[in-house]
Amino acid sequence: MSLAVAVVGGLHAAARAAAVDRLLADVPGSVVLHHDLSAAGAGRVARTVRDRDGIVSSGQTPLVNDCACCALREDLVPELRRLADAAGTRLAIVELWDSVEPKAMAEVIASGGLTVTSVITAVDPALVLPYLGNGDDLAEAGLAAAATDRRTVADTFARQLEYAPVLAVADSPEADDEDMELLAQLHPTARRVPIGADAGHGEPPVGPRPTARPGPGGAGGGVPGPLARAALAGFDVEAAAAAQHPACALLPQEADDHGVSTLVWHRRRPFHPERLYAALEDLTCAAARSRGRFWLADKPDTLLHWDAAGGALCVESAGPWLAALPDAAWELVPPVRRAAAALDWHPEHGDRCNHLVFTSPGLDREGLTRLLESCLLTDAEYAAGRNSWRRLPPAFDTLLEV
């Protein structure tokens, strides 16, 4: 039998440990491979392999280019191949260190010829809002993976949460309905599975089931609990990457429940660069989490990515809009992106649009909508045409490092 590999990550360390222990208990022949990056300052990464009875092996690997994550990448696939050759190993659980993001590791594992059967992020619902609101650098929290790591707690947690098709949800006494609703609105398509042992045998999971391909062991195969079944259900690395691309990301839909709201704002008219730039702070702080794609009147061919959490905003170019490409270049574009553009095509602007989604408790939907609308081109500015738009002051050039 080929080795199944389940990636389990998340900044909520206690929830992650509980999810890993649940899998070890429920899947016979499972082992956990973990690289501890906390000693990276001493120039090494510690590796352990354990099963349900304790440590099986341990070792160290040196940093690569002063980067702990690079060392992890170099060591991960050889260790997994060694486990694949070991008789009786059915499932390798790759428990990621706190700030390691699952997307990069899943892609490394798949590129090494191994079968990723699931990516799971473990979550304590009571900690979702505090972590989304934490704009501290990972270095300040002692969680940086390299000296050059400039990520924040909030944006790292958001990516961990939104990439995984399965969320292992800890039983948190401090969590209330608002916390659970926030989690549901941030990632509505995720399969949310309880971690606790009393929830592990035969109870239905919370949320929808994924539509992934079945992996080794199938979706049942005698595995006793929903988290174990999710770990073996199957995972498509290419589809997961496409779902994160700002041009075709499956963003949350409108919602309003238990004090939590999601506002979906979709407009065809471009933003005025100066007015939008002046409003960035208010827009960034308006919601715990916001994301999406947008276009500026002075850069009509550039798809811009909006990614905000923890009171900080990242704006970056995601390449050209499809409408800006010559017909011959379309064959080089992934089919999923062409399909997404076709679903949202405008006769004049093509796939160019503003599609931003804001999710937060206590969201001021009306005020936020008014602010966004005020940043668009006016009727007169819009009627002046694209040549006039290009002459508008390039307010975003510094932010985009143009």
How high is the pLDDT of residue 145? 80
Beta bridge partners of 67: 64, 146
**What secondary structure letter does DSSP report for 268?**
S
Residue partners of 384: CB distance under 8 A and separation at least 6: none
**For residues 102 and 164, is the Cβ–Cβ distance under 8 A?**
yes
How high is the pLDDT of residue 203? 38
Q: What homologous superfamily is domain 255-400 in, according to CATH?
A: CobW-like, C-terminal domain (3.30.1220.10)
How high is the pLDDT of residue 1? 47
How high is the pLDDT of residue 131? 97
How high is the mean pLDDT in each 10-residue block of the chain (402 residues)? 90 97 94 89 86 92 80 89 88 96 95 95 97 93 84 96 97 96 96 74 39 39 76 93 86 96 97 98 97 97 96 94 92 88 91 97 97 98 96 92 64
- Best CA proximity match to 73, nearest among 98, 114, 108, 112: 108
| Rounded-to-integer distance, Cα 107 and Cα 114, Å | 10
How high is the pLDDT of residue 79? 93
Domain positions in the chain are: 4-244, 255-400
| Rounded-to-integer distance, Cα 47 and Cα 33, Å | 7
How high is the pLDDT of residue 276? 98
How high is the pLDDT of residue 197? 52
| Rounded-to-integer distance, Cα 216 and Cα 227, Å | 15
Which amino acid is residue 374, in one-letter code? Answer: S
| Rounded-to-integer distance, Cα 395 and Cα 275, Å | 9
Find the helix packing angle between 237-244 and 335-343, rounded to 10°.
40
Considering the segment(s) 4-244 as one domain, its CATH architecture is 3-Layer(aba) Sandwich (3.40)
Q: Two tokens at 108? A: 């490394």
pTM: 0.90
Beta bridge partners of 57: 49
How high is the pLDDT of residue 393? 94
Q: Two tokens at 264? A: 């979906």
Domains 4-244 and 255-400 share a fold: no
How high is the pLDDT of residue 221? 46
How high is the pLDDT of residue 402? 54
How high is the pLDDT of residue 73? 84
**Count of CA atoms in the C-beta half-sphere (13 A) of 215:** 26
